[in-house]
């Protein structure tokens, strides 16, 4: 059934144009809904960010495939195994991915640069007809009325490639502008479904959920922070001391861990670049200034080197290769599990609902699972009246799984598993992956939606 034959499409307003927001936009557009994304930035940081790559495990890839995105075409590199080193750079364990393991996966496992992933999502969203507004900062939302209020006048849609049909006419016809008590102007836009996908420092979170003590939920530092940087793979390979970090064939994830800090690296961009993440205790770094996005803290190379001064020569030489101006410092945040991710006609997805630390590489994957399950549950025949009940169904699919993956992530915070007491590898990590990577959030949501619809039909029949 098309919308012209039946219901009107939902009018979906999404706060945030990151991985979660763009994925939800594509999934909901596929159902024929009218979708707009409001992103506070110019989106430039997503297309130029350095030191930033993502592990797309099979539970993530299988969903991107359903959206028409093939990471092999986006410079993704197939994951080929994991190598564990201690701080002396002695190999504790090295396991290459076997053909048997690969055959058991529901989709391929890719290592991909965040820029490449974001570009693929943005391009696909625009091709599907999503309207993306940039420089649009969400101030508040009203879950009951399903409205979204943004700062200043409604910005023009971003001039983006493939965006020739993009215009704001529909938005402008129904929005209202007003002035705040502090004199700044705002625009309120009506919708039928509001999605908070505005990341770890979410502005929408506080309107959707309160803690049991009725306070607004807040994020806190996990006690660890990370430096991120990129090194050309060829530079590492051409030096006989650092070539131990480059395996052939490529795609190997390398952990080099001491007692309370570690350096993790894996290749991305078809293997041209090594994405490196150095995780250290925040107490040793001192105060990390919290910018609105956390992406703009340029870090000091000498400070980075000092954290790893007791590591062996290969790490010293690797750190010498880091470009002086190419290091970013991020705090790693955590948050108590929220009592609910939904309220009336509004929902929190991705880091806005559950900020992920990087320890098992599932943050983007869980954001994409949230988004795709939402797209399935808000099927083509969804009406505005059915949105709250459908969000209840979505929450029943997502909340428990996300809490479990969060718990598995937190358990991996301590690198104690990776030192010499565990010569046979990281069993806890293997168990965590076993829970995460075999789940297909799309087919699971389809099955549960079918059961839910069947239950409604049965209830109607029996009344």
Ligand X SMILES: Cc1cc2nc3c(=O)[nH]c(=O)nc-3n(C[C@H](O)[C@H](O)[C@H](O)COP(=O)(O)OP(=O)(O)OC[C@H]3O[C@@H](n4cnc5c(N)ncnc54)[C@H](O)[C@@H]3O)c2cc1C
- Binding residues (CB under 6 A) for ligand X: these are 15-21, 38-41, 54-55, 137-138, 197-199, 203, 226, 228, 277, 293, 330, 332, 350-352, 356, 358, 361-365, 367
Residue 229 has φ and ψ, to the nearest 5°, of -160, 165
Output 60 or 244, the one with its CB closest to ligand X.
Answer: 60
Measured between its terminal Cα atoms, the distance across the chain in Å is: 27
Output 120 or 365, the one with its CB closest to ligand X.
Answer: 365
Kindly state the smallest distance separating residue 393's Cβ from ligand X, in Å. Answer: 21
Beta bridge pairs of residue 112: 54
Output 56 or 378, the one with its CB closest to ligand X.
Answer: 56
Sign (positive/negative) of CA torsion 274, 282, 337, 37?
Answer: negative
Shortest CA distance to 143 belongs to which of 214, 202, 208?
Answer: 208
- Can you state the percent helix, strand and coil of the chain, rounding each to 5? 40, 25, 40
183 and 315 Cβ atoms separated by less than 8 Å: no
- Report the length, in residues, of the chain: 463
Kindly state the smallest distance separating residue 416's Cβ from ligand X, in Å. Answer: 20
Output 397 or 449, the one with its CB closest to ligand X.
Answer: 397
Output 15 or 376, the one with its CB closest to ligand X.
Answer: 15
Kindly state the smallest distance separating residue 67's Cβ from ligand X, in Å. Answer: 15
196 and 7 Cβ atoms separated by less than 8 Å: no
CA 268 to chain centre: 17
273 and 233 Cβ atoms separated by less than 8 Å: yes
Kindly state the smallest distance separating residue 457's Cβ from ligand X, in Å. Answer: 35
Kindly state the smallest distance separating residue 145's Cβ from ligand X, in Å. Answer: 18
Kindly state the smallest distance separating residue 312's Cβ from ligand X, in Å. Answer: 24
Output 233 or 362, the one with its CB closest to ligand X.
Answer: 362
Output 195 or 449, the one with its CB closest to ligand X.
Answer: 195
Kindly state the smallest distance separating residue 276's Cβ from ligand X, in Å. Answer: 11
26 and 33 Cβ atoms separated by less than 8 Å: no
The strand order across the sheet containing 53-56 reads: 53-56, 110-113, 77-78
CA angle (47 as vertex; 120, 249 as ends), nearest 5: 65
CA 260 to chain centre: 26
Shortest CA distance to 35 belongs to which of 119, 120, 126?
Answer: 126
Kindly state the smallest distance separating residue 221's Cβ from ligand X, in Å. Answer: 12
Output 32 or 116, the one with its CB closest to ligand X.
Answer: 116
DSSP string over 65-133: HHTT--GGGGT-EE--EEEEEETT--EEEEEEPPHHHHHHSSS--EEEEHHHHHHHHHHHHHHHT-EEE
136 and 150 Cβ atoms separated by less than 8 Å: yes
Quick one: 352 exposed, middle or buried, by C-beta within 10 A (0-12, 13-18, 19+)?
Answer: buried
Kindly state the smallest distance separating residue 181's Cβ from ligand X, in Å. Answer: 19
Kindly state the smallest distance separating residue 199's Cβ from ligand X, in Å. Answer: 3
Output 113 or 386, the one with its CB closest to ligand X.
Answer: 113
Which residue's CB atom is positioned nearest to ligand X?
A: 18
Output 19 or 315, the one with its CB closest to ligand X.
Answer: 19
């Amino acid at each position: 059934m098309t919308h012209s034959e039946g219901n009107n499409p939902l009018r979906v307003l999404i706060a945030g144009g990151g991985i979660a927001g763009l994925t939800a936009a594509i999934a909901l557009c596929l159902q024929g809904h009218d979708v707009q994304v409001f992103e506070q930035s110019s989106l430039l940081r997503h297309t130029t960010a350095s030191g930033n790559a993502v592990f797309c495990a099979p539970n993530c890839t299988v969903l991107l495939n359903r959206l028409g995105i093939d990471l092999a075409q986006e410079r993704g590199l197939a994951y080929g195994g994991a190598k564990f080193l201690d701080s002396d750079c002695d190999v504790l364990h090295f396991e290459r991915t076997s053909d048997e393991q690969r055959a058991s996966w529901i989709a391929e496992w890719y290592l991909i640069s965040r820029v490449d992933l974001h570009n693929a999502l943005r391009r696909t969203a625009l091709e599907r007809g999503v309207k993306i507004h940039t420089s649009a900062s969400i101030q508040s939302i009203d879950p009951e009325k399903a409205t979204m209020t943004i700062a200043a006048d409604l910005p023009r849609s971003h001039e983006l490639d493939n965006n020739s049909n993009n215009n704001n006419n529909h938005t402008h016809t129904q929005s209202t502008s007003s002035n705040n008590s502090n004199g700044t102007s705002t625009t309120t836009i009506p919708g039928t479904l509001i999605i908070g996908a505005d990341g770890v420092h979410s502005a929408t979170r506080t309107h959707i959920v309160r803690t049991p003590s009725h306070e607004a939920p807040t994020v806190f530092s996990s006690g660890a922070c990370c430096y991120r940087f990129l090194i050309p793979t060829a530079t590492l390979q051409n030096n006989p001391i650092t070539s131990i970090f480059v395996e052939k064939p490529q795609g190997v994830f390398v952990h080099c861990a001491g007692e309370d800090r570690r350096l993790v690296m894996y290749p991305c961009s078809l293997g041209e670049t090594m994405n490196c993440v150095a995780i250290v205790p925040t107490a040793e770094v001192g105060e990390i200034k919290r910018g609105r996005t956390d992406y703009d803290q340029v870090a000091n190379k000498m400070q980075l080197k000092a954290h790893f001064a007791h590591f062996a020569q290969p790490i010293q030489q690797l750190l010498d290769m880091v470009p002086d101006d190419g290091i970013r410092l991020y705090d790693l945040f955590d948050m108590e599990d929220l009592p609910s991710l939904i309220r009336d006609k509004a929902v929190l997805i991705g880091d806005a609902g559950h900020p992920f630390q990087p320890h098992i590489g599932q943050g983007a994957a869980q954001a994409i699972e949230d988004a795709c399950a939402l797209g399935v549950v808000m099927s083509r025949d969804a009406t505005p009246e059915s949105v709250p009940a459908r969000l209840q169904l979505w929450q029943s699919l997502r909340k428990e799984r996300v809490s479990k993956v969060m718990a598995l992530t937190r358990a991996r915070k301590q690198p104690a598993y990776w030192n010499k007491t565990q010569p046979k590898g990281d069993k806890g990590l293997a168990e965590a992956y076993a829970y995460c990577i075999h789940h297909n959030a799309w087919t699971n949501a389809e099955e549960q939606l079918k059961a839910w619809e069947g239950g409604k039909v049965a209830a109607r029949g029996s009344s």
